């Protein structure tokens, strides 16, 4: 199509945000223009998520609206669907129903230009190693960027669609990763987040590649001011990795380590490959090396067969670890996953009630852990205005969301601040010093 006007819509995780960025750069190279609304576009491309039922429902309702838009249009109007849902039978059935023209599975997203060069529909759900090129940096003035290290997952958690949507683990070539990071630094990026479904396994699929511990050191050595990574699997979080974090000041003392459940019986049924004691031992090792560790986790409540006693063990584990933050999910039975095939879902009321109890626990701990930061100094990367009037928002080196007075932090940038107050979800600070201003502020803070 000549005069391609593209509207990109992204659901789901940071890997998806990165993938949308990759596709956008391919589209730019064939002359596409990007627009802000569906009305202005003649190609709407939706990057989808399939990890739980809710994002799937969102995609369905969006595709319903897009189909109506297509019927209204006199000019050509293409609907595109990419990412995890597109990789699944379930998603392809949805795509057929809503008249999707271009469908690219999560392992075929680099085929976007080829897809648009065709007349008629183009569907590809293969897994190609070639999704591997240097993605150009985001617009100047952006301070944070993602870099994908590894795609796919070799674990087989019974509730999870990812091994089927993103395929087996494939690490990117270290030279590409390092080149991409160098370009980001040249573009003024202050914070780099290394991405993968399981970053800890980086390099396992190619003996010539460094492992994750060495890669952290090599990326940091390029001069990254702040380095973060998500997500980790406890089974692959080796002592070598703990040591690399401890030796690399740019990484800070923040780790996201999903535990999923506190009961051995549930962990076994989830096929998480570890037991509760093993997880606790990893946390102890981390705390030994990183005394200021800020730890967050993922927890699923209401996994099939989870008894009240099992759930109680999740609550107990929470107390034993004292997580700073948690992403908590109600188990969502996903067609095609082993747990969907094998086990019966618990009643919704049971799951909802357990989630509420877990949220109460999380709030208590987050408040307690956040309050321990009052009076301390933090380094805040300010993005822009907060929802709360007269405040700007950012996050510190341990990933706490922090608000600063807008009058003290008028532009995006990096600030040294003292924490004055804490809530379960926020730290409030006072600016001590501006360390760095964004080269070209994205938006003026109000
Ligand atoms: N139901 C609920 N939560 C899930 N997750 C993955 N699959 C499911 C599912 N079927 C959660 C896990 C994972 C996070 C990204 O999403 O906690 O760590
Ligand atoms: Fe899914 Fe488990 Fe792989 Fe994470 S480690 S992507 S939860 S299969």
300 lines ligand 1 (CB under 6 A): yes
Query: What pLDDT is stored for residue 292 in this prediction?
Result: 96
Angstrom distances, CA of residue 158 to CA of 16, 98, 296, 317, 333: 22, 30, 22, 21, 10
Domains and CATH numbers, the chain: 5-130 (3.40.50.12160), 135-252 (3.30.750.210), 377-437 (2.40.50.140)
Strand, coil or helix: what is 81? strand
Lining ligand 2 with CB less than 6 A are 153, 155, 157, 160, 162-163, 197-198, 233
Residue ranges of the binding site: 13, 49, 84, 153, 157, 160
Residue ranges of the binding site for [4Fe-4S] cluster: 13, 49, 84, 153, 157, 160
Q: What is the pTM of this model?
A: 0.95
Angstrom distances, CA of residue 380 to CA of 44, 336, 385, 432: 36, 43, 14, 11
Q: Given ligand 1 and candidates 11, 14, 49, 51, which is best to mutate, with the most ligand atoms within 8 Å of its CB?
A: 51
pLDDT in tens, the chain (446 residues): 679 999 999 999 999 999 999 999 999 999 999 999 999 999 999 999 999 999 999 999 999 999 999 999 999 999 999 999 999 999 999 999 999 999 999 999 999 999 999 988 999 999 987 777 788 888 778 899 999 999 999 999 999 999 999 999 999 999 999 999 999 999 999 999 999 999 999 999 999 999 999 999 999 999 999 999 999 999 999 999 999 999 999 999 999 999 999 999 999 999 999 999 999 999 999 999 999 999 999 999 999 999 999 999 999 999 999 999 999 999 999 999 999 999 999 999 999 999 999 999 999 999 999 999 999 999 999 999 999 999 999 999 999 999 999 999 999 999 999 999 999 999 999 999 999 998 655 454 43
Tell me, in angstroms, the distance from the centre of ligand 2 to residue 173's CA: 22
Atom of ligand 2 nearest to the CA of 163: 8
Strand, coil or helix: what is 45? strand
Query: What pLDDT is stored for residue 130 in this prediction?
Result: 74
Query: What pLDDT is stored for residue 440 in this prediction?
Result: 59
Q: In degrees, to the nearest 5, what angle opens at C-alpha 96 toward C-alphas 92 and 102?
A: 75
Nearest to 78 by CA among 106, 93, 99: 99
Query: What pLDDT is stored for residue 438 in this prediction?
Result: 82
Tell me, in angstroms, the distance from the centre of ligand 2 to residue 415's CA: 36
Query: What pLDDT is stored for residue 103 in this prediction?
Result: 98
Core vs surface per residue 220-250: b (16+ CB within 10 A) or e:
beeebbbbbbbbbbbbbbeeebbebbeebeb
Tell me, in angstroms, the distance from the centre of ligand 1 to residue 311's CA: 16
264 contacts 275 by C-beta, under 8 angstroms: yes
Q: What is the rounded CA–CA span in Å between residue 263 and residue 268? A: 9
Q: Given ligand 2 and candidates 197, 300, 332, which is best to mutate, with the most ligand atoms within 8 Å of its CB?
A: 197
Task: Transcribe 328-391 into DSSP letters.
Answer: EEE----TTSHHHHHSPPPPHHHHHHHHHHHHHHHHHHHHHHHHTTTT-EEEEEEEEE-SSTTE
Name beta bridge partners: 33. 5
Atom of ligand 1 nearest to the CA of 13: 15
Q: Given ligand 2 and candidates 233, 235, 297, 298, which is best to mutate, with the most ligand atoms within 8 Å of its CB?
A: 233
């Amino acid at each position: 199509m000549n005069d391609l006007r593209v509207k990109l819509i992204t659901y789901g995780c940071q890997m998806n945000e990165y993938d949308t960025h990759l596709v956008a750069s391919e589209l730019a190279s064939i002359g596409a223009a990007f627009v802000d609304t569906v009305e202005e576009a003649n190609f709407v491309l939706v990057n989808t998520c399939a990890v739980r039922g809710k994002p799937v429902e969102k995609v369905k309702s969006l595709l319903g609206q897009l189909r109506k838009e297509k019927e209204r249009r006199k000019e050509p109007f293409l609907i595109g669907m990419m990412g995890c849902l597109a990789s699944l039978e379930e998603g392809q059935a949805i795509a057929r129903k809503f008249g999707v023209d271009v469908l690219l599975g999560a392992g075929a997203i680099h085929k976007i230009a080829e897809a648009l060069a065709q007349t008629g529909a183009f569907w590809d759900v293969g897994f190609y190693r070639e999704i591997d090129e240097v993605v150009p940096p985001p617009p100047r003035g952006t301070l944070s960027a993602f870099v994908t290290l590894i795609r796919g997952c070799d674990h087989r958690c019974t509730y999870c669609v990812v091994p089927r949507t993103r395929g087996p683990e494939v690490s990117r070539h270290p030279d590409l990763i390092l080149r991409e990071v160098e370009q980001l630094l040249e573009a003024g990026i202050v914070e780099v987040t290394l991405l993968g479904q399981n970053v800890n396994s980086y390099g396992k699929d190619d003996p010539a590649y460094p492992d994750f511990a060495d890669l952290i050191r090599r990326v940091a050595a390029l001069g990254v001011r702040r380095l973060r990574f998500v997500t980790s699997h406890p089974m692959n979080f080796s002592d070598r990795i703990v040591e690399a974090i401890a030796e690399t000041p740019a990484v800070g003392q923040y780790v996201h380590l999903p535990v999923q459940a506190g009961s051995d019986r549930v962990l076994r049924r989830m096929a998480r490959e570890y037991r509760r004691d093993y997880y606790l031992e990893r946390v102890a090792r981390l705390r030994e090396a990183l005394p200021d560790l800020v730890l967050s986790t993922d927890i699923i409540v209401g996994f099939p067969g989870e008894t009240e006693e099992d759930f109680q063990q999740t609550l107990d584990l929470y107390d034993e670890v004292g997580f700073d933050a948690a992403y908590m999910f109600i188990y969502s039975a996903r067609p095609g996953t082993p747990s969907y095939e094998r086990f019966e879902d618990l009643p919704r009321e049971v799951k909802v009630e357990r989630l509420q109890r877990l949220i109460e626990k999380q709030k208590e701990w987050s408040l307690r852990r956040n309050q321990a930061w009052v009076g301390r100094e933090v380094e805040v990367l300010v993005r822009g205005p907060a929802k709360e009037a007269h405040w700007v928002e950012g996050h510190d080196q341990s990933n706490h969301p922090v608000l600063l007075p807008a009058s003290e932090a008028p532009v995006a940038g990096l600030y040294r601040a003292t924490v004055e107050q804490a809530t379960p979800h926020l730290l409030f600070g006072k600016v001590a010093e501006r360390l760095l201003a964004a080269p070209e502020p994205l938006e003026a803070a109000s």
